[in-house]
Structure 1
Amino acid sequence: MTLREPSQMSNKSNFFSSFATAVAELSGRPFTFVAALMLVFVWAVSGPFFDYSETWQLVINTTTTIITFLMVFVLQNSQNRDGKALQAKLDELILTSQAANKFVGIEKLDESELREMSKTLAEKAEHVEEKAEEKSASETSF
Structure 2
Amino acid sequence: MHWRFRQISDLAVSWAGHRVVPVMLIAFIALWAAVGLSISFPRQWFLLTNMLGTLTIFFILLLVQHSQNRDMMALHAKLDELIRSSKAGNHWIAAEKNDADAIEGMRQQHHGQISESAN
What TM-score do you get using the length of structure 2 for normalisation? 0.86
Give the structure, 1 or 2, with the largest relative contact order (CA under 8 Å, sep 6 or more): 2
Residue 110 (str. 1) matches residue 108 (str. 2): no
Identity %: 28
Paired residues in the alignment total 119
1:87 to 76, 89, 94: 76
Residue 33 (str. 1) matches residue 33 (str. 2): no
Q: Aligned ranges for residues 118-133 of structure 1 at < 5 Å?
A: 118-125=107-114, 127=115, 131=118
Unaligned runs of 5+ in 2: none
Alpha-carbon offset, residue 96 of structure 1 = 1.8
Distance 1:38 1:122 in 2: 53
**Counterpart residue number, 1:68:** 57
Larger Rg: 1
After superposition, the C-alpha distances for 1:33-58 in whole angstroms (9 at most, x for unaligned) are: 22222111211222211212222222
Distance 2:42 2:14 in 1: 35
- Deviation beyond 6 Å, 4+ runs, structure 1: none
Alpha-carbon offset, residue 86 of structure 1 = 0.9
RMSD of aligned alpha carbons: 1.9
**Counterpart residue number, 1:53:** 42
Distance 2:27 2:109 in 1: 52
Alpha-carbon offset, residue 30 of structure 1 = 0.9
